[in-house]
């Protein structure tokens, strides 16, 4: 399974490693390019096969809403966003 993970801070970065250790293929995106596997949210979405699964691990409130609003323009019907 390939999953997209957005937000690679303390929680998201650890979750990426745990998922990878469990055998999952994880493409991570973070605004910090040193942590990110993808260059942008669009690049992350392009690297996932449909139906896509994208897990959002950014701070609650405005940051989460901003990411979901961006994903709404990039994802297709049947794709899944986990918050």
Rounded to an integer, the average pLDDT of 30-53 is: 96
Question: How is residue 39 written in tokens?
Answer: 């260059």
User: pTM of the prediction?
Assistant: 0.92
Q: What digits encode the pLDDT tens for the residues 14-32?
A: 999 999 999 999 999 999 9
For the beta sheet containing 2-6, the strands, ordered from the edge strand earlier in sequence to the opposite edge, are 25-29, 2-6, 53-56, 80-82
Tell me the residue range of the domain where 25 lies.
2-82
In terms of DSSP H, where are the helices of the chain?
A: 10-21, 41-46, 62-74
Indicate which CATH number applies to the domain containing 28. 3.40.50.720
Question: How is residue 27 written in tokens?
Answer: 């493409």
Q: How far apart are CA 68 and CA 52, in angstroms?
A: 14
Q: How many domains does the chain have?
A: 1
């Amino acid at each position: 399974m390939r999953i997209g993970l957005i937000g690679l801070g303390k929680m998201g970065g650890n979750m990426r490693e745990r998922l990878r250790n469990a055998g999952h293929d994880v493409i991570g995106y973070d605004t910090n390019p040193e942590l990110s596997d993808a260059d942008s949210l669009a690049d992350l979405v392009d690297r996932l096969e449909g139906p896509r699964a994208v897990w959002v691990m950014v701070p609650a409130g405005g940051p989460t809403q901003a990411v979901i609003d961006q994903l709404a323009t990039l994802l297709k019907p049947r794709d899944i966003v986990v918050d």
